[in-house]
Amino acid sequence: KNEVEQSPQNLTAQEGEFITINCSYSVGISALHWLQQHPGGGIVSLFMLSSGKKKHGRLIATINIQEKHSSLHITASHPRDSAVYICAVRRPGTSGSRLTFGEGTQLTVNP
C-alpha cells in the first residue's frame, strides 16, 4: 500500500467550478507539500503545511493531522489550472528531509 494516496486520479471540471483534491497518508509526517506539475513536466511548489490551512489566490490547502488527511481546493477554476497536482510528505527524523510522493491527480478544466 502506498504511504501517500490521492483521490481522485483524474478530475474533469467546467470552468468556474469549485474543485477538491484529497490526500491521505499512513505515516507520521513533519510537513505535507502540494505541488503542481505542468504538461511539460516542470514541478512548482504550491503549499507546505504542517497544520491548519493556507490560502494563496484561488488555492486553499488544509490539513488534519489527527485524521492524516489534506485537501487542496481550487475556487473559480480556470483552464490554466489544468495540470497534475501532487501531494508529498516529509517524514520526521529523516536526515535529508526526503519527500514521499502520491501518484498525482490529473485535473482538466474545460472552458
Contacts with other proteins by CB under 8 A lie at 31, 33, 35, 40-45, 48, 86, 88, 94-104
Least distance in Å: CB of 17 to other proteins?
Answer: 26
> Residue 85: which H helix or E strand, with range?
strand 83-90
Least distance in Å: CB of 16 to other proteins?
Answer: 29
14 vs 30 by CB, closer to other proteins: 30
Angle at alpha carbon of residue 82, lines to 34 and 20, rounded to 5°: 55
66 vs 95 by CB, closer to other proteins: 95
Least distance in Å: CB of 99 to other proteins?
Answer: 6
Q: Are 31 and 89 in contact (CB under 8 A)?
A: yes
Q: Are 61 and 52 in contact (CB under 8 A)?
A: no
33 vs 77 by CB, closer to other proteins: 33
DSSP H helical ranges for 13-84: none
Q: Are 53 and 62 in contact (CB under 8 A)?
A: yes
7 vs 94 by CB, closer to other proteins: 94
Least distance in Å: CB of 110 to other proteins?
Answer: 23
